[in-house]
Amino acid sequence: MSENKDINTIANQLLNAQDNINNVATKFNRNTNSVVLMAVSKTKPIADIEAAYAAGQRVFGENYALELFDKQQTLSHLKDIQWHYIGPIQSNKTKIISQSADWIDSVDRLKIIKRIDQHAKALNKTINLLIQVNISNSPQKSGVSLDQVNELAESINELKHVSLRGLMAIPDNYEPNADGQRPQLKAEFNLMFTCYSHLQQQYPSVDTLSLGMSGDLNIAIECGSTMVRLGTAIFGKRK
Ligand SMILES: *Cc1c(COP(=O)(O)O)cnc(C)c1O
């Protein structure tokens, strides 16, 4: 594929994704700008991010600390990119993540959060946080359980250099039933929304519920997601 073809493809896929988001939001009586599209650019080259940026995309998600760091450095002239770190957090990577991320969407341990707060202080910045919830109780996934959210939120609220913005979850891949429905997925998304609503009543800074990927974004929007994370749908398959 030539470079121009790539650029057009990414721009088109962004348009299609945004169209779909707008349609689903409207169908469920939601404001079309109440759902933010995050472009997940992990493993994709700088040129792809530049193409998405040229098409107007500003919110990007990355999963690997060093990859995020390199990309953020290379693209530091694009000052209005909002970088989200959405991967698992190793404690020896908190510094490099804090240096390059505007948001960290996968916090689930106070020890790590305190480190992020200290790094943010040294960097003279405020880092936005989403608490990751392991909503399907998957042994191999990060995240707290729903009943641990309040305690962690209280602790975050006491720190000065991080701002609690909401919740994130990555549910299991539930196959549709004979009726084409995914009741378990919907139930889990609804639990997330209830927890998010309670949090919002307690903390005015909370405005983000990150639910929904390429395979489940319509249900996520139906259930109240304010941020969907799309990789493959924007940039194509990863190797
Ligand atoms: C990779 C990733 C995505 C994007 O997944 P796609 O299936 O490519 O859309 C979204 N969220 C998280 C946390 C991811 O790691």
Q: What is the pLDDT of residues 6-27, one digit of tens each?
A: 668 999 999 999 999 999 999 9
Confidence of residue 239 (pLDDT cuts 50, 70, 90): confident
pTM of this prediction? 0.96
Atom of ligand 1 nearest to the CA of 234: 9
Atom of ligand 1 nearest to the CA of 106: 13
How confident is the model over 31-61, as pLDDT tens digits?
999 999 999 999 999 999 999 999 999 999 9
CB-defined site of ligand 1, < 6 Å: 40, 42, 63, 86, 170, 213-214, 229-233
> In terms of Cα–Cα distance, which of 108, 112, 103, 64 is closest to 84?
103
Distance 158 CA to ligand 1 centre (A): 31
pLDDT for the residue numbered 2: 47
Residue 182 has pLDDT above 60, yes or no: yes
CA-closest residue to ligand 1 atom 13: 86
Average pLDDT over residues 226-233: 96
80: CA distance to ligand 1 center in Å? Answer: 22
Residue 211's region, left for phi above 0, alpha for psi from -120 to 50, else beta, is: beta
